[in-house]
Structure 1
Amino acid sequence: MKISVPLTTDGYLPDKYSKYSAIKRAGQPVVSFPIKITDVPERTECLALSLIDYDAVPRTGFPFIHWLATNLPVQSITEDFSSVFEGPQGMNTWASRFYGVDDEYVISHYTGPMPPEKPHRYTLTIYALSQVVNVKDKFFYNDFRDELAGKILTKTELIVNARD
């Protein structure tokens, strides 16, 4: 399985999907970027994804989850998919009591990269699953991992850079 996302000529995620987006909610960029997916295994019933910022660890003490979603259709993911997808999306790190964000939409949909002091690398992982995952909307990362166990046919990761 192969994945790709649009990048600027200097290799960064375009501004409209990250810190410099003109479309924000509770101060967070909320327009998700498109993901081109090819060579999906034949037995794939659905896809799942995670977008995690491991470069946040020195600043926050933990990786920052920007997007979790599962039971995605077996096709490429269009721009702003997070806002229209009716399947389960998980809680991102803005749901943490350490941040105090009380916007239900923001904490349970895509929120784009906001690197504070230098560019960050975001790990986008797409999972091809052999069966639909049994989670409800607003699930947490631990539930996501538990439910994916034994269902992953293959997974592919892509590092997506975002400028500060």
Structure 2
Amino acid sequence: MKINVALKNGFIPDEYSKFATTKISEQPVVSFPIQLEILPQDTKALAISLIDYDAVLRTGFPFIHWLAADIPVTNEIPADFSRNFEGPQGKNSWYSRFYSLNNDYVINHYAGPVPPDKPHDYTLTVYALSNLTGLANGFFYNEFLDTINNKILAQQAIKLRAKN
């Protein structure tokens, strides 16, 4: 399995990150396109996670930016998929009690990279699954991992850098 995200000068393009013009509660909400190749033949669904491990130095924990499951099998997850997908998406780290963002929409969809101090690397992982997860909207990361655990046919992770 192979995944690719088109970068601009080595960074996630501005329209999907801190410098986006489409924002809700000051968070970028237009997800970037993801190209997929060489999916296992028996793939029944896809799942994705986008996590900022560089955030640990500022927050004390990795920052979850996006979780989605039960994505139909495809070779391209298009731009703005998160706002158009009717399947299950999980809670990102804006849900944390350490933040005061009180917007259910932003908390349960793609909330793009907004590194505050320096460029950050974001880990995008795409999972090819043998079956649907059955997760409901608003699931948590631990539920996501537990549910996909025995369904993973293949997974691929790449690092994507975002400007501060």
Q: TM-score range by the shorter chain?
A: over 0.9
1:150 equivalent to 2:150? Answer yes
**For residue 49 of structure 1, what is the aligned residue in structure 2?**
48
What count of residue pairs does the alignment treat as equivalent?
163
**For residue 15 of structure 2, what is the aligned residue in structure 1?**
16
CA distance in 2 between counterparts of 1:6 and 1:21 reads 16
CA distance in 2 between counterparts of 1:34 and 1:149 reads 25
Give the percent of matched residue pairs that are identical in Structure 1 and Structure 2. Answer: 56
SS across alignment from 1:82: helix
- Amino acid across the alignment from 2:22: I
**For residue 92 of structure 1, what is the aligned residue in structure 2?**
92
**For residue 78 of structure 2, what is the aligned residue in structure 1?**
78
CA distance in 1 between counterparts of 2:5 and 2:145 reads 24
How many Å apart are 1:100 and its aligned residue?
A: 1.6
Any unmatched runs of 5+ in structure 2? none
- Amino acid across the alignment from 2:137: D
**For residue 105 of structure 2, what is the aligned residue in structure 1?**
105
How many Å apart are 1:134 and its aligned residue?
A: 2.0
With the length of structure 1 as denominator, give the TM-score of the two structures: 0.98
SS across alignment from 1:56: helix
Moved over 3 A (4+): none
CA distance in 1 between counterparts of 2:34 and 2:109 reads 16
SS across alignment from 2:77: coil
RMSD: 0.5
With the length of structure 2 as denominator, give the TM-score of the two structures: 0.98
**For residue 27 of structure 1, what is the aligned residue in structure 2?**
26
Any unmatched runs of 5+ in structure 1? none
